[in-house]
Amino acid sequence: MTLEEKVGLIHGNGIFRSGGVERLGIPSLKMSDGPMGVRREFEDQRWFLACKTDDYVSYLPSNSAIAATWNKELAYTSGQVLGSEARGRGKDVILAPGINIKRSPLCGRNFEYMSEDPNLIEELASSMIRGIQENDVAACVKHFAVNNQETDRLAVDTDLEDRALFEIYLPGFKAAIKKGESYSIMGAYNKFRGAQCCENTYLLKSILREEWEYDGTIISDWGGVHDTKAAANSPLDIEMDVKSNFDEYKMANPLLEAVKRKEISEDEIDKKVRNILRLMLRLKMIGEESEERESGTYNTISHQQEILKVARESIILLKNEENRLPLKKNIKKLAVIGQNANILHSAGGGSAEVKALYEISPLLGIRMELGGNTEVTYRPGYYVSYQKVFDIIGYQETSTDVMAERAKRKKVWLELEKEGKEKRKEEERRLREEAVLLARETEDVILVVGLDHHQDMEGRDRKSYELPYAQEQLIEEVLDANPNTILVVFAGSPVSMQKFIGKAKAIVWSYYNGMQGGKALSDVLFGVINPSGKLPESMPKTLSDCPAHKFGEFGTKGSVYYNEGIMVGYRYYDTEDITPEFCFGHGLSYTNFTYKDLVVRVNKGKGVFLSFSVRNTGKVAGAETIQVYVSDPVCSVKRPTHELKGFTKIFLQPGEEKELMMELKPSAFTYYCTKSKKFVLEGGEFIIEVGSSSRDIRLNQTVRVE
């Protein structure tokens, strides 16, 4: 292989593909965004939509929704569906899953991520990756590393203490590699300790290649490479970008010339090429097994059925006073209020957007559930005014230039209108009054509120913890008009509920839940299925309660230091006894579960084994997620009150009881020692806690672990 051919392999030669070597039969790697489904097709040579009619796909629940299931099997199933659809669309690499820690509720991409807790991420991400790669498609876990905000995302320099790095922010990636065996990984946009993540020798070489012994392919985020020498001398294998001048990428002609000038060793190029060829062999793109490669399918009925299973288990019942839920199906009249009842979310959010074959909205799902014997009346309730009219380019910019360029080739009509402030206020008032009147006149009311992809989106963080579009005023007035109103919140991140939490008797939470989201929601509301979702993140009462914001560091003057250290999410709230609105792991059911008979046995050097029983004491079948936390009350370093170290989900019929056995490995009791630069087990007494959430511990026992 010539030097020119080798260099051609390690950078983009199309917007979503790397180069190939036709002379040797080495193909290009075809990639696609895909955290919620394979993204629509782009033109090969430019960042423009291809406007095809055959790139509709299945729209999956977001990673936040998958995490809310607390179900490893469903994470695996989600991966299988995503991998099959990617392969069916002819892709080799799907740029998923995103597993960055949810540090702040304001992060615009939180909906793409799983949790604030590394253990939950470890288990679900590794399961999802295995499902993806069964289809001979590479998962590309992202964004490595410490990438937790969209503000100044291309240049912000992040830093934190080593304990937080190794205990909170890296374990998910390590599990993705060691347990999930992810074939590829994507570098992040931000800097870490002064160096761009996609060129960062400490992250990519010291940790990824040497400490974790990773032999997979490292791919840059699109436009994440800034310096030819730094990138070439790092373990980065493929540079991708949004620009069309492929030969001018940092690892294209500039690298070729640098090698010819002896400024960079050709050996560095060879390492990258070997990693790329190894990936192709694993995917059966080349070699003896190429005829046996999976073909994949997309938009199948079986995929839609699997997506419904995930969506159903992801919905979280936050509050249910007076057993307001489930509703009865034989009601004669029902009011559905709120724009989020009728908004389709699949086409927004940035690189997570999906060209869905269909999407069932909450309103449609409710009407499908009730049929023609119930009069369902809808009112939007609030006014959605989008200042950003379209988002064509997606990653880096939003511009009318794209539309102007298209207009040169096709007839395009644009009608843009910017409403005045008074007109907007008048419309808000009118819609709110109509909704309140309907709520007052109707016995059963479902109010659907929340965020959309003009808040939950790539490239921008939310500016406020409060709900947008004057929804808080709508909620208060509707609840005053009808105190029995069922409140449904759709969002990718926690929102403030302070103004209405005391009034609402029933609150249901849904993350962006895929093409079957409305069907899944109606199944929960009307008792077709029993809700079993649990929060994968804490919901603070106020933004100032969140440690990322309480300590004043969300990024200033181009840098951010994580002053909260390891005290992220429930680790902080539970340790400092700060009551959140809803705690980590919380989620109610239409039935009740009791726990009993905890037995803990220590097997020296092999970990701790525990057994206990759980019984469904209610009248309907249901699922419970049992969470196991470890507390280290006496330690030479500060540790959180407790940390999640295991979980399992079981399904029980009314009156059914099951004995469960779980194992905690020795690593569950360790912390990262900054002096020895490794995880250590400080022998002594630990408390094993078994519960339904981080603040609902049912059983506990003290054991000595050495």
The residues near 658 (Cβ < 8 Å, ≥ 6 apart) are 613, 614, 615, 650, 652
The sign one gets for the Cα dihedral 399, 404, 409, 412 is: positive
Q: What is the mean pLDDT of residues 683-699?
A: 98
Amino acid at 597: D
What is the structure's pLDDT at 222?
A: 98
CA–CA distance, 144 with 224 (Å, rounded to integer): 11
Helix residue ranges, H only, 557-600: 570-575
DSSP 493-541: S----TTTTTT-SEEEEE----TTHHHHHHHHHTTSS------SS-B-S
Tell me the β-bridge partners of 652.
Answer: 622
CA–centroid distance for 529 within its chain: 24
DSSP 8-state symbol, 209: I
Indicate if the pLDDT at residue 603 is higher than 60: yes
Residue 406, number of CB atoms within 10 A of its CB: 15
Domains and CATH numbers, the chain: 1-28+213-283 (no CATH), 303-528 (3.40.50.1700), 591-705 (2.60.40.10)
Res. 401: pLDDT tops 50: no
Mean pLDDT across 544-572: 90
Q: Over 80: is that where the pLDDT of 636 sits?
A: yes
pLDDT tens, position by position, 422-443: 888 999 999 999 999 999 999 9
Residue among 296, 281, 355 at smallest CA distance from 87:
296
pLDDT for 276:
99
The backbone region for 239, taken as left when phi is positive above 0, alpha when psi lies in -120 to 50, beta otherwise, is: beta
Q: Read off the pLDDT of residues 10-32 as tens digits, 9 standing for 90 and up.
A: 999 999 999 999 999 999 999 99
At 545, the pLDDT band (50, 70, 90 cuts) reads very high
Q: Tell me, what's the pLDDT at 605?
A: 85
CA distance 173 to 217: 14
- Whether 221 is catalytic: yes
User: What is the predicted pLDDT for the residue at 557?
Assistant: 77
Winning range, highest mean pLDDT, from 165-169, 403-407, 603-607: 165-169
517 CB neighbour count, 10 Å cutoff: 31
Q: What is the pLDDT of residue 418?
A: 52
Q: Which pLDDT band holds residue 409 (cuts at 50, 70, 90)?
A: very low
Q: What is the Cα 681 distance to its own chain's centre?
A: 31
- Tell me the pLDDT tens digit for each residue of 49-74: 999 999 999 999 999 999 999 999 99
Percent of the chain scoring above 70 in pLDDT = 95
Q: How many CB atoms lie within 10 A of CB 594?
A: 11
Which strands make up the sheet holding 593-603, listed edge to edge? 593-603, 607-616, 657-664
Write down the catalytic residue from 136, 221, 241, 545: 221
SS3 content of the chain, % helix, strand, coil (to 5): 30, 25, 45
